[in-house]
Amino acid sequence: MVDDPEVQAWLETLPDAKQQPNLVFAAARWHGLAAPAPYEALRSVLLGDDGAVRGTILTRATQTNEAGRLATLTPVFALAAAGRPVALLEVGASAGLCLYPDRWRYRWHTAEGVRAAGPPDGVGPVLECAVTGPVPLPEELPTVVWRGGIDLNPLDVTAEDDRRWLLTLVWPEHDDRREQLARAIDVARSDPPDVRRGDLFELLPARLEEARAAVGSDGVVVVFHSAVVAYLEEADRARFDRTMRGAGRGRPLPLGEQRGPPRPPHRDGDRPGAAGRAVRARARRSLRRAHPRARPVPHLVVTPTTGP
């Protein structure tokens, strides 16, 4: 595409924020482009577009919801919970598929062998994850007593149209991720999540109150986000950090966090080694680094680092 002035000109008719490869490719596939396919096929879908592909690009967004991230987030949740019941609040939840850490079985592959947690083998879906270094892995999964989310545009797991769009957002060659996504949607459909529409800054205070009320004084509220802060402007990232610190009301509020590469993510592309970081805000240190899209499978987790 970079060497194709006609396609470049077509892309430039889109608003800047919509000139994302993931979004353009997904929209083309949504309208029938086979994938994988030779470049010419993509070219003719875009240049021959009667407005349908453009309409999809303008009305939809990349909201890739990756339950595989739970393999790295769940140890953080368990650490924050420390045996207490948890109210789990996700900002930028998309369809809310990461709100079910307790419904999966985990198999963490460590240098010492496989460490497993969750339902017994053969009961429920499984997330495999390669682990390097002394990552604290839980023996018991946290007990989630309340789960809720916030998103600018929540996708509805029960709606077939949203299910198809989520599946279309997965890159064509990532069959394993698509299969896992289908399982994650089934998990969420069995107990649909409460993801409210709105901006995280506006809805966070009210949702925090809900979570606190639901979990009571014996429990803990854990707020988390993954692949969301990368979508915020620099100033809003700092504002989010301040909001989270303030939300603790003088007490540290556990925050599970996966940060992606700097904004805008689509211009950075999928750089090898562009690693998300899982951070626990209480200690303000990185627990470990993980591949931002849970790739390669099994998930890559490397030695814990200290950090901001």
Ligand X SMILES: C[S@@+](CC[C@H](N)C(=O)[O-])C[C@H]1O[C@@H](n2cnc3c(N)ncnc32)[C@H](O)[C@@H]1O
Bridge partner list, 240: none
How many C-beta atoms surround the C-beta of residue 231 within 10 A? Answer: 17
Residue 195 C-beta: closest distance to ligand X, Å: 9
Binding to ligand X (CB under 6 A) within 266-305 occurs at: none
Which are the contacts of 272, defined by CB distance < 8 A and separation ≥ 6? none
Binding to ligand X (CB under 6 A) within 170-199 occurs at: 199
Binding to ligand X (CB under 6 A) within 59-78 occurs at: 61, 63-66, 69
Q: How many residues bind ligand X (CB under 6 A)?
A: 21
Judge whether 74 and 138 are in contact, CB under 8 Å. yes
Closest residue by Cα to residue 144 from 68, 64, 80 = 80
Residue 184 C-beta: closest distance to ligand X, Å: 9
* Residue 228 touching ligand X (CB under 6 A): yes
Judge whether 302 and 133 are in contact, CB under 8 Å. yes
Residue 110 C-beta: closest distance to ligand X, Å: 24
Residue 235 C-beta: closest distance to ligand X, Å: 13
Among 14, 58, 152, 182, contact with ligand X (rule: CB under 6 A):
152
Phi, psi of 110 (to 5 degrees): -110, 170
* Residue 20 touching ligand X (CB under 6 A): no
Among 200, 211, 220, 278, contact with ligand X (rule: CB under 6 A):
200
- Please, what's the b/e burial string for 176-203 (b: 16 or more CB within 10 A of its CB; e: otherwise)? bbbebbebbbebbeeeebebeeeebeeb
Among 127, 138, 151, 171, contact with ligand X (rule: CB under 6 A):
151
- In whole angstroms, give the CA distance from residue 264 to residue 121: 41
Residue 20 C-beta: closest distance to ligand X, Å: 11
Length of the chain: 308
Residue 61 C-beta: closest distance to ligand X, Å: 6
Summarize as ranges the residues that interact with ligand X (CB under 6 A).
Answer: 61, 63-66, 69, 91-94, 98, 150-153, 199-200, 226-228, 231
